[in-house]
Structure 1
Amino acid sequence: MSISNSPLKRCSSVSDENEISKSDGEYIDFTKLSRPVEGMRLAVIPFFSNNGKTTSLVRCPTGELVGFDVVCQKHLLICCVSLPLSIESLYLCAIMEVYNSLSRDKFEMVMVASSDSTKAAFNKFFSELPCLAIPFSDLDSRHYICSFIGFNLNIMYPKLSVVLVDPHEMIMHYLVLMSSFLTYGAEWFPFNDTHTEAVSIQDKILRCRLDPFYKKSI
């Protein structure tokens, strides 16, 4: 897809268009966007490519460069991290367990280190995680993606913030993901409301069988 040399323009407001996408011949100024909203469309390739300024993601820990098409038409988790962060973090472990359990044909994850992360912290963190990432050298993209998704919005995990996008590039979940990954694991896939309700019911049934005190509390 070609991108014109026109100056940056702010995309239409979410209330009008309900999307973050690119019209023909128009850049999106992601730096001016507000926080993600569930039901908003996020045009994945313009978002990760910084409107065509960059061409690839990096596959960690091998360092292989891959095109953005690897994340298209899949459930996609965008995970911003403020480094240093221990890979033994409870929520990060839950996310990685889900990632490692699901097929790459259906689910991908892109880790984005915040712009204040040092190269040493970046290399240490990603040397131990098998996932896609925005390259350390792409400081501009790392900055605007993490600025858009945001940090410090929940005291339970101030160094980790995530957005889940469906194969049609619609934002499914924002911020409330962590506890669901922790509770349901890979059983939560494909993450939609109907399946969430189903696994929630199954979880309650299992808890009632195992914990009589839990049964009395509901």
Structure 2
Amino acid sequence: MALLGKAAVAMWWNVRSEQRAEFGDWHSHEHFPERMSIPGFRRGSRWTDAASAEGFFVLYELEEYEVLTSKGYLDRLNAPTPWSTKMMPHHLGMVRSQCRVAASFGGGVAAALATFRLSPETGREAALQTHLERTLGALASLPGLTGAHLLLTDTPKTSVPTTEQQIRGKDGAADWIVLLCGYDPDVVERVIGDQLSSSALRGAGAMDDPAIGRYRIAFTMTPQDVPAS
């Protein structure tokens, strides 16, 4: 999938099994339509951990970086609905990154997704970014794959804990994020072991081993999908 904008919010968390049914209902029928009604939100997608039904990855694609500090977005973050207030404490181990899109290749929404959370070694930032952009550009059009993207976390300078964050507790944050999408999970897995393996990323300038997640699509929505009120 080509990302629909210049910024994004990338989030990972877990939901216990006893809350999953209500979470899916709330997130699909209230929360996504609410977010997609905010000016500047272009697409939302929710992905389920391929190995554990408790894990989720959610991506909001934003038209511009400034949407992150817009009144429309902050008003929603600081005035959660009663249902949101009930569900926020069930977002366990939240990692939430506000990002600029550094590179995006491909198109469409595919079935399989791998997420990589990594950090560059000091002094090797430019070399790693150049390597990733070159690699991701070549991967996106391979058989079995549909998209490859690089996000760089850039938390707004004016960012303060919102009401939603206060309900959840302290969120973690990623640093650099690579997303790899495809219609063939086996091809995605091969790339994880080859071009985007831990050793290949370390050799290109990444620090330590990346945190890698494997997901399948659960739901996606754009502003055009929001039911008329």
TM-score normalized with structure 2 length: 0.30
Structure (1 or 2) with the larger CA radius of gyration? 1
Higher relative CO (CA 8 A, sep ≥ 6), structure 1 or 2?
2
The structure in which a higher percent of residues are strand is 2
TM-score normalized with structure 1 length: 0.31
